[in-house]
A and B are shown apart, each in its own frame.
Chain A
Amino acid sequence: MTRFDAIVIGAGVNGLVAAALLARRGKKVCLIEAARHAGGMAGLRPGEGPALAHLVHNLSPAVRRDLGLGRDWPFALTPLATVALAEDGRHVVVDGPNAKLADGTAHPFAAAHAALTERLTRYGALLRNMAETAPPGGGMSGIAMMRQGLRFARTGLSLRAMGKPEMRRFLQVLLSNAYDLILDEMSDGPLAGLWTADAVRGAALGPRSPGTVFSLIYRMGHGGIVSRPEGGMEAVIAALEEAGRKAGCTLRTDTRVARILTEGDRVTGVATEAGEILSAQVVLSSAAPLTTARLTGLDHFDIEATRRLRNLRARGTVAKVNLKLARAPALPGVDLASARMVFAPSAEYVETAFNPSKYGEMSEAPVIEAVMPDPGAASPWLSLLVQYAPADLDGGWTAAARDRLAQIATRTLARALPDLPGLVTSAEVMTPDQIGAATGGPGGHWHQAELTFDQMLTLRPGNGMGHYAFGPSGLYLCGAATHPGGDVMGLSGRNAALRALEDRA
Chain B
Amino acid sequence: MSVMTDPKVGLIPGPVHDRLAALSRSQAWYGWAGYVAPSHLDSMEFEYFALRNQASLFDVSPMHKYRITGPGALAMLNRMVTRDVAKLRAGRVGYTLWCDEEGMVIDDGTLFRLGEDDWRLCCQEPMLDWLMEAAWGFDAKVTDESHDIAGLSLQGPCAFAILEAAGLDVGHLKPFDLAEIEPGLTVSRTGFTGDLGYELWTAWDAAPALWDRLWEAGRHHGLRAIGYDALNLARIEAGFLTAGVDFQPVLSVERLHRGLTPFELNLGHMVHFDKGHFNGRRALIRARNTPRSLLMRLDVEGFKPAPGALIYHRKKREIGHLSSGIWSPTAKCNIALAHVRMPYAAQRPANLWAEIYTLEEGRWATRMVRLTPVKGPFFAPPRAKATPPARL
Contacts and interface: CB of A to CB of B under 8 A. Distances in A.
Contacts, number: 45
B144 to A, nearest CB: 18
Interface residues of B, number: 19
Which residue of A264, A303, A306, A472 has the most chain B CB atoms within 10 A of its CB atom?
A303
Contacts of A310: 136
Contacts of B136: 298, 306-307, 310
B276 A299 contact: yes
A13 to B, nearest CB: 29
Nearest to A304: B101
A303 B130 contact: yes
Interface in A149-201: none
A305 B281 CA distance: 13
A301 B279 CA distance: 7
Contacts of B282: 265, 302
Contacts of B101: 302-305, 464
B138 A265 contact: no
A294 interface: yes
Nearest to A299: B79
A303 B277 contact: no
Nearest to B134: A303
A303 B132 CA distance: 10
A102 B76 CA distance: 64
Contacts of A265: 276-277, 281-282
B236 to A, nearest CB: 32
B137 A294 contact: yes
A298 B133 contact: no
Nearest to A263: B276
Interface in B289-312: none
B137 A298 contact: yes
A304 B138 contact: no
A91 to B, nearest CB: 52
B277 A306 contact: no
B130 A306 contact: no
B253 to A, nearest CB: 14
Contact of A303 (B75, B78, B276, B279): B279
A472 B281 CA distance: 11
A487 B80 CA distance: 37
Which residue of A265, A299, A301, A304 has the most chain B CB atoms within 10 A of its CB atom?
A299
A303 B130 CA distance: 8
B279 A302 contact: yes
Contact of B133 (A300, A306, A471): A306
A-B pairs with lowest CB-CB distance, top 5: A302-B101, A298-B137, A299-B79, A304-B101, A300-B277
29 contacts: A265-B276, A265-B281, A265-B282, A294-B137, A298-B136, A298-B138, A299-B75, A299-B79, A299-B277, A300-B277, A302-B100, A302-B101, A302-B279, A302-B280, A302-B282, A303-B79, A303-B80, A303-B101, A303-B130, A303-B134, A304-B100, A304-B101, A304-B133, A305-B101, A306-B136, A306-B137, A307-B133, A310-B136, A472-B277
Given A264-B276, A307-B136, 13 more contacts: A265-B277, A299-B138, A299-B276, A300-B277, A302-B279, A302-B280, A303-B79, A303-B80, A304-B133, A306-B133, A306-B136, A306-B137, A310-B136
